[in-house]
Amino acid sequence: MQSLEGIRIIDLTHALAGPYGVLLLADLGADVIKVEPIEGDPFREAYEGGIFIAANRNKKSLALNLKTEEGRDVLRKLVKISDVIVENFTPGKLEEIGFGYEDVSKINPRIIYCSLSGFGQSGPYSKWRAFDPVIQAMCGSMAATGEQGGRPVRNAGSFIDTGTGVMLAYSILAALITREKTGKGQRIDVSLFESAVSWMNYYIIYYLLTGEIPEKMGTGYKAFFPYGLFETKDKPIYIAVHSEKTWKALCETLDARYLLEDERFKTNDDRCRHRKELEEELNKILRKMSCNEVLERLTKAEVACGPLLTVADLVDNPHLKEREVFIKVKHPTKNSEVKSVGMPIKFSGIKFKLRYHPPKLGEHSIEILKDLGYSEDEIYRLKEKKIVYFP
pLDDT value for 1: 78
pLDDT tens string for the chain (391 positions)? 799 999 999 999 999 999 999 999 999 999 999 999 999 999 999 999 999 999 999 999 999 999 999 999 999 999 999 999 999 999 999 999 999 999 999 999 999 999 999 999 999 999 999 999 999 999 999 999 999 999 999 999 999 999 999 999 999 999 999 999 999 999 999 999 999 999 999 999 999 999 999 999 999 999 999 999 999 999 999 999 999 999 999 999 999 999 999 999 999 999 999 999 999 999 999 999 999 999 999 999 999 999 999 999 999 999 999 999 999 999 999 999 999 999 999 999 888 999 999 999 999 999 999 999 999 999 999 999 999 999 9
- Inter-residue contact 79 to 91 (CB < 8 Å): no
3-state secondary structure 277-330: HHHHHHHHHHCCCCHHHHHHHHHHCCCEEEECCCHHHHHCCHHHHHCCCEEEEE
**CA separation for the pair 276, 47 (Å, rounded):** 39
75: left (phi over 0), alpha (psi -120 to 50) or beta: alpha
Report residue 258 CA to chain centroid gap.
Answer: 44
**φ and ψ at 12, to 5 degrees?**
-100, 20
* DSSP tag of 184: -
Question: For residue 97, what are the contacts with CB-CB under 8 A and spacing of at least 6?
Answer: 66, 67, 72
Strand duo 186-191 + 112-117: pairing:
parallel
Task: Indicate which residues carry an active-site annotation.
Answer: 161
Give the bridge partners for 337, in sequence order: 330
Outline where DSSP puts E strands in 126-240.
186-191, 227-230, 237-240
What is the reported pTM?
A: 0.95
Instruction: Write down the domain spans for the chain.
Output: 8-198+351-389
pLDDT value for 351: 87
**CA separation for the pair 85, 304 (Å, rounded):** 42
**φ and ψ at 38, to 5 degrees?**
-65, -15
pLDDT value for 10: 98
CATH class of 8-198+351-389: alpha beta
DSSP string, 65-121: -TTSHHHHHHHHHHHHT-SEEEE-SPTTHHHHTT-SHHHHHHH-TT-EEEEEESS-S
pLDDT averaged over every residue in the chain: 97
* DSSP tag of 150: S
Work out the end-to-end distance of the chain between its first and last CA atoms, rounded to an integer number of angstroms: 32
pLDDT value for 158: 96
Instruction: Give yes or no for a cis peptide into 236 (omega within 30° of 0).
Output: no
- Inter-residue contact 155 to 145 (CB < 8 Å): yes
